Amino acid sequence: MLPLEFARQSIDDRITLVIAADASPVRSLWAIMDAKDIGAARRALHEREVIPEKNETKHVGIWPTESQSSEIIPGLDDWAAVRKLDGVVWTALPPKFAGKDVKPTEEEVIQHLRGLRGAKRDEAERYVRRAPPQIDTAYRRRIEAELGWTHTGS
């Protein structure tokens, strides 16, 4: 269970999911990554997420060496131990809106998405619709109600 929300305006203007400390926890998905060590796993995730190299250590979280992981992801130590994992990596991008590291309000997200046109709107809608259905957040429910962007699968 992770506190996720549609709270980051990406470079292409989609509103993407990020860990937001004040969000209600929702069931998230995870996958095994084949990597030589935790550093290689961090680099692979940073490349996949197109995170600038200068922000790799800041925006890709790792366990067991990141001290903030227990604050952001309560129970991570026990969860990883039960699964006998050597390490865990996750995207640790913060909420961001209008070029600032702030969490947008629901209204700001709706107005932003309503204002998108053409390919940008199509990509933003596709992202929301393809998010796994168990990612049932307050912002998603509002997006569905206001814009009709309900889950359609991948």
Task: Tell me the domain boundaries of the chain.
Answer: 2-147
For residue 13, the Cα-to-chain-centroid distance in whole angstroms is 15
Work out the average pLDDT over 98-127. 97
More confident of the two residues 136 and 77 = 136
20: pLDDT strictly greater than 80: yes
Q: Determine the pLDDT at residue 154.
A: 60
- The rounded mean pLDDT for the chain is 91
Residue appearing with tokens 């292409």: 12
18 vs 4: CA distance, rounded Å: 5
Q: Determine the pLDDT at residue 5.
A: 97
Q: At residue 26, what are phi and psi to the nearest 5 degrees?
A: -130, 155
More confident of the two residues 54 and 142 = 142
Sequence-ordered list of residues with C-beta below 8 angstroms from that of 142, at least 6 positions apart, any chain: 106, 109, 110
> What Å distances lie between residue 53 and 77, 97, 117, CA to CA?
27, 21, 31
| pLDDT tens digit sequence for 31-84 | 999 999 999 999 999 999 888 888 888 899 888 875 555 567 888 889 999 999
Residue appearing with tokens 């990596």: 89
78 vs 37: CA distance, rounded Å: 20
